[in-house]
Structure 1
Amino acid sequence: MDPIYVVLAVLAVFLLLGGLWLYTRRRRGRLSQDRGTPSPPDRDTAPTERGQEPSGTSSGQAGVAPPVEAPGGPGGVATVEAPESIPGRMQRLRARLAGSGGFGRAVLAVLSRGDLSEEDWEEIEDTLLTADLGLDVTTALMEELRTQARVLDTTDPQAVRAVLRDQLLTLVDPTLDRSLSLDRPIPAEGFDTSSGSPAAAILMVGVNGTGKTTTCGKLARVLVAQDKTVVMGAADTFRAAAAEQLATWGERVGVEVVRSQREGADPASVAFDAVRRAAEQGSDVVVVDTAGRLQNKAGLMDELGKIKRVMDRAAPVGEVLLVLDATTGQNGMRQAQVFSEAVGITGIVLTKLDGTAKGGIVVTVQKELGVPVKLVGLGEGADDLAPFDPEGFVDALLA
């Protein structure tokens, strides 16, 4: 046999044996992999449903939300804040109110001159009108002050102050019930109570720009400071920023916020969902924010009435609070009257009362609507909202 053929035959045998060896090795590897248990994917890189961020925990539960990122918190995780106590914030707000000056102090300065001329009385009258006391209230107060000035016939500042304090306190009316209705209501007929009884409901209303959404968040802090459990409803579905803002307030104080993921959703539906969620959780209070609306838009006011009617299907709404900007003066009065007709206002929240030159709106709004000012805001801080204290308010005006 030709030697060349022998060499080729040997090479062919080696190639065949090598191929068989490689095939067997790879097959054994695949069989071993198929029979074994695959290792779990890395949790930090595993995909999640609907684009959610991975939880980063080992709980194994699907849909676990990640910790809320909050600048300044330990490790970047938001911490729940403890709101300031009610007595503490009231004392601080009275001091701030007294330090900002007010119409009472201006009137007192004129009355203390003694032997008042007609020009002096006109100065007092102008001061009262500028403070938004209104013409009727100012006229009655001027008559009483003139009478008392003749009776006293004194320039003693303390005597004059006592007279003015009594008159202003009478106008502010400390006998009005300014407490929030927070008792758990009787469920409405047809409301399913199998998952819980309705919470006390507070509906917040007002025009644009009064700080209504911020006031909702601050009110939640007031309630938490009173050891109440709270749920907030973001029924302002026309502004995505409003729901985000309310959610931020909720995170800060540990309050759940019920909101719609769809902009322009039915606000009445969101309000009812919040009421139902509060019942399921056994919460004490549900606070529902609404979209700001102009008082001269009939359609928007009708929608507000619908929100209240839908909430009433669970239980009667205990409080309808109108948020008013104290600096709007008589325009604020017109707003209050229209909102009262639409949803039946039970109380007023006055914001931006830090400049007491317009403090007369407290008297005017109460006189016109027959409802009390229940809460006041004197600043932009998280705890710059407190129950209205008539005596503290008057004393601050005359400090």
Structure 2
Amino acid sequence: MTTQTDATLGVPAGPRWPAWWTTWMFLKNRQAIIPKLHDRFGDSFSIKILPGPRTFVIFSDPADVKEIFAADPSQFHAGEGNAILEPVMGSHSLLITDDDEHKRSRKLLMPAFSGPTMKAYRPLVEAIAKAEVDSWDDGDTLVTLDRMNAITLDVILQVVFGVTDEERLAVLRPKVTKMVNIGAGMLLAWSWPNLYRVPPWRGYFKNQQEVDEILFAEIRERREAKDLEGRDDVLSRLLRAGEDDPDVEPLSDREMRDQLVTLLLAGHETTASALSWTLHELGRHPDLMRRATEAAANGDDAFLDACLKEAMRLHPVIDFVARTLQSDQVVAGRHLPEKVTVTPSIMLSHSREANFADAHEYRPDRFLTQGEVAANTWIPFGGGVRRCIGAAFSLMEGAAVLGEVLRRFEVTADQSAPNRLRNITNVPSDKAPLHLRAR
């Protein structure tokens, strides 16, 4: 492999591959190329990504990651780094916006994800998980990813969207599932808008328009609801957000739609995948399975939380974050030009032996040992002012679902599940089949 460097600007070396090939591999199979490039070039290297092509600089050293997360967000734009998601999430999405618009949206959304609010959501999450687990039988083979997706989809629809009417849920489930099923190729519509007119893009975005119509109707109806003050779902909370602060303009219907879709896409299959990997790893480690079932029976969320976090470390669901420079910057001692995108690699950080001893092993106890997990090494939710707003919700949901499953069943896995990049998340390619044994 030949390399290219730019000593003047300080852009690190990277592969001399055609940009179209690098782009396709980055979107389709990062787990195949990123570790190999790290082995070849070290803790920082560059790649070229279309359109442009644009320069991405990948970082994995925790000191560099910390520097990027702590940098001035007005000069390190996370929204611009996520712009490829705009055709689906919308231009007002919390993941797409930067600067003042992002600050305003985050301020309005934060109360809906505060600690006390998590306690209000948990009973409904547990009820949804229990209803699913009640349909399982002793001796069944569980197609884990499918069943976890079913649970987390209903959590989004009921806890976030506030839709509890079964007739409406029956209409929304298949349409939302199709919307969530956004392959890497579908994201190319951001670069080439003409794709909207041809299959399969045309069908995908037609379905998205139908979901939008339902969401806008739900928002309008909810605004007029007489019991809005007494409703605890996220949508109702967002409709009330800002009403006591004259200095903050409430979210418009379009902004509300974009935030709801963002919560759907960022919080549905990501949590389902994390749960699938957790149950898969427990199914491969009988000793940990016994401890987890005891923890579930005793209401010990700390161990269940550690099991979930360790699965998210070993199997990063989202494997990188991105910040696009708005001016020339010195990053990790390198002079990088405006519009370079700096990219802390979650994948490389989580597999780094200097960060995690025996990094290839599933060892939840590392999250129970004080000081074993250092700052800026476990970063599944990103970091800094752009850390995922739904992080606490995801962990609460994960522990609640694990508890419901493990109070009723033990699971075993026959073999290790390979990874596949599906949509924008890493999932078990075989959907992590598990054998159920009633407790």
Same fold (TM over 0.5): no
TM-score by structure 2 length? 0.24
Larger Rg: 1
Higher RCO (CA-CA < 8 Å; seq separation 6+): 2
TM-score by structure 1 length? 0.25
Which structure shows the higher helix fraction?
2
